[in-house]
Amino acid sequence: MKEHKIGVIMNGVTGRMGTNQHLIRSVLGIRAQGGVQLAGGDTILPDPILVGRNPGKLKALAEAHGLKRYSTDLDTCLSDPFNQIYFDAQRTDLRKEPVLKAIAAGKHIYTEKPPALSTAEAMEMYRAAVKAGVKNGVVQDKLWLPGLLKLKYLKDNGFFGKILSVRCEFGYWVFDGFDQPAQRPSWNYRREDGGGIILDMLCHWRYVIDNLFAPVKAVSCIATTHIDERVDEQGKAYPCTAEDAAYATFLCEGDLICHFNSSWVVRVRRDDLVVFQVEGTKGTAVAGSRDCWIQPSALTPRPVWNPDLPQSLNFFEQWQKLPDNREYDNAFKAQWELFLKHVAAGEPFPWTLLEGAKGVQLAEAGRRSWKDRRWVDLEELEGERQ
């Protein structure tokens, strides 16, 4: 049994998600457990080098976690054959050129979603990776959330019967910065910087629906900028040029209807920040990011509409909570382990740059639907049937 070290260039991980989810909980978490074990007993140990534009932030982050390797010189990092993987967690509008440069250097590519601002750019990146013969992947972390894994378990075991519809409520109140500091970076609310909830969330909803329920074929979407002025990180007010809420209906294969509300201007009165409700002929399930409740047909109550009397039924008590019959790892770390196995041993990894492009395609279609006030069909992308 051997230990194989793989250099991983991590660009843009000084931000909140890059630091917490990708560096600390994923790559450093994998190192802390002794690496990723392959089928033959060998292990892969990722060796990160932190890359970015701010040397002070890079040094502080590296020293905080006992790392020796960090740099502001991406070209030098790409020229080192020890570094086999390039990972990008930068702002979306900064991602394309470094990824193409890494592909040209022969590095395997793993990137946050969305991979690009447009389908055309995302497909350019995908074609370049295919032509260069490098392995590639896009973060699609929600597929490994415990709540969604429980939904998949129910679906695979026939709990739902025929699935009729899927509803999702996602979001929370993001403060505008005037009275309380905002919890999200200001670029999220500027279209010119790649912001907007359509691009952010419809990319997630594409892979969730495609992988768990049925392929998306068309979208009807309306969005708006509910709050038109916010305060940035320097305490300066700025106009919001990107939408902060989107209300979308997706038509999928088999006439499955999915309706997803995404909002950064909603106060939460539900089980979680995200809640999925899957209706089936034999039963219904409601899942958050971790927990899942079910109501099979035999236990479905028979309510009667009578607004003149107080409601006698406690609907929340009529659901059964699924037990945690297994341990669930961090969703980002789970996909990182699969990508490392893909690079080192060629194990399957279907969540490629093409899948990332499909997410951008749905976001673009959602924006077109909003602009034109109509349904927009999704065209098949090049390579989708391979």
d(CA 80, CA 6): 12
| SS3 of residue 2 by DSSP | coil
Confidence class for position 382, pLDDT limits 50, 70, 90: confident
Name the least confident of 209-213, 270-274, 324-328. 324-328
The 10s digit of each residue's pLDDT in 190-234 is 999 999 999 999 999 999 999 999 999 999 999 999 999 999 999
Cβ within 8 Å of residue 375, ≥6 positions away: 218, 219, 220, 251, 369
Locate the domains of the chain by residue range.
3-140+331-350, 142-326+362-371
- Tell me: pLDDT of 385 over 90: no
**CA–CA separation, 177 vs 181, rounded Å?**
4
Q: What burial letters (b/e) apply to 293-304, b meaning 16+ CB within 10 Å?
A: bbbeeeeeeeee
Per-residue pLDDT tens over the stretch 348-372 = 999 999 999 999 999 999 999 999 9
Q: Which of 152-161, 257-266, 267-276, 302-311 has the lowest mean pLDDT?
A: 302-311
Q: Which of 361, 113, 360, 150 minimizes the C-alpha distance to 276?
A: 150
User: Any idea of the CA torsion for 303, 308, 310, 311, to the nearest 10 degrees?
Assistant: 10
Task: Tell me what the pLDDT averaged over the chain comes to.
Answer: 96
Q: What global pTM score does this model have?
A: 0.95
Confidence of residue 386 (pLDDT cuts 50, 70, 90): low
Tell which residue, 256, 292, 288, 294, has the closest CA to residue 275. 288
CATH number of 3-140+331-350: 3.40.50.720
Helix, strand, or coil here: 216? strand
pLDDT tens, residue by residue, 132-167: 999 999 999 999 999 999 999 999 999 999 999 999
In the CATH scheme, what is the homologous superfamily, with its name and number, of domain 142-326+362-371?
Dihydrodipicolinate Reductase; domain 2 (3.30.360.10)
281-324 pLDDT, tens digit each: 999 999 999 999 999 999 999 998 999 999 999 999 999 999 99
- What is the SS3 assignment for 295? strand
pLDDT of residue 338 exceeding 80, the answer is yes
Rounded (10°) angle between helices 146-156 and 197-212: 30
| Backbone angles phi and psi of 193, in degrees to 5 | -105, 10
User: How does residue 1 score in pLDDT terms, banded at 50, 70 and 90?
Assistant: confident
